[in-house]
Structure 1
Amino acid sequence: MTLEITSWLRVDEDELVWKATRASGPGGQHVNKTSTAVELRFDVRGSPSLPEDVKARLETLAGSRLTLDGVLVLFSQGSRSQEMNRQDARERLIDLIRRATEKPKPRKATKPTYSSKLKRLDSKAKRGTVKSGRGRVRFDD
């Protein structure tokens, strides 16, 4: 089975590693005896499905969820059902990879206009006079 990320990108389900654990937090006896929380691991660097540029952007987007080995770890424990937690983790992975496929627009360098430079300098001068007026008052007799 494959996960369809975009019309041109698919990730094989075999690349995902699932682990069920007990959820933390309140929940009474149910939480103590069932493993409903889910941990999803996806090897970003070792994935044959992803192009190199998508891998690089995905590593940046993942942030602290990425291990030193380049494995993305997603943890889901919001639902009482293990299957719903699996679905939540799967959807979050798809969303993250989909965001990584979007190429950022190149930044165009612009120059400030002459009037904006004058406004900035004028406001700096006004601010300076306001601040200089806050100093100690000297009485010159």
Structure 2
Amino acid sequence: MAGENDLKINNRVTIPDADLEEQFIRAGGPGGQNVNKVSTAVQLRFLGSQSTALHPDAYRRLLRLAGQRATKDGDVLIAASRFRRQDRNREDARERLAELVREALKPPPPPRRKTRPTKGSIERRLKAKKGRSQTKRMRGPVDD
């Protein structure tokens, strides 16, 4: 029972609209009078601490990926002011949040297992070192 304003991440994960808060603010930078009068920038807040849309492990990865965009309360704050139109900034913020969540949904790679070099590779390395040593020794002064 997905609402029309829910944020679809992939086929299995959808963030309900109730877990998202949007606030429209004035954008900074160039733009003349338009920037001073119209609130086109968007602050999108994902209320992750109360959301059940993400598995706790994925939520922890999301907070780590979000970095400074994560708040102490466990929310993720995305600010978008790239475009001059409010609806474009809104789409941009939602897409950036979706991309961040998609990245967090990927399972972490397995830990690296330490391996030892094979006996053959050790022998080849030592043989190459002896060959280089011999070459350099031959470059020295000639004794009669």
Same fold (TM over 0.5): yes
| TM-score, with length taken from structure 1 | 0.78
**Residues 1:55 and 2:56 aligned together:** no
**Residues 1:71 and 2:106 aligned together:** no
Conserved 8 A contact 2:49-2:75: yes
Identity %: 40
Displacement over 6 Å in runs of 4+: none
* Separation in structure 1 between the aligned mates of residue 82 and residue 37 of structure 2, nearest angstrom: 16
**Residues 1:89 and 2:93 aligned together:** yes
* Separation in structure 2 between the aligned mates of residue 15 and residue 85 of structure 1, nearest angstrom: 19
**What displacement does 1:31 show?**
0.8
* Separation in structure 2 between the aligned mates of residue 13 and residue 98 of structure 1, nearest angstrom: 17
1:96-135 matches, within 5 Å, as: 96-113=100-117, 115=121
Q: Which residue of 1 aligns with 2:19?
A: 15
* Separation in structure 2 between the aligned mates of residue 9 and residue 96 of structure 1, nearest angstrom: 13
**What displacement does 1:112 show?**
4.5
Determine which of 25, 32, 36 is the counterpart of 1:32. 36
| TM-score, with length taken from structure 2 | 0.77
Letter in 2 for 1:81: R
Q: Which residue of 1 aligns with 2:140?
A: none
3-state SS of the aligned residue for 2:111? coil
* Separation in structure 1 between the aligned mates of residue 100 and residue 75 of structure 2, nearest angstrom: 14
Aligned-residue RMSD, C-alpha: 2.1
The structure with more radius of gyration: 2
Q: Which residue of 2 aligns with 1:126?
A: none
Residues 47-56 or 31-40, more deviating:
47-56
- The runs of 5 or more residues in structure 1 that have no matched partner are 123-141
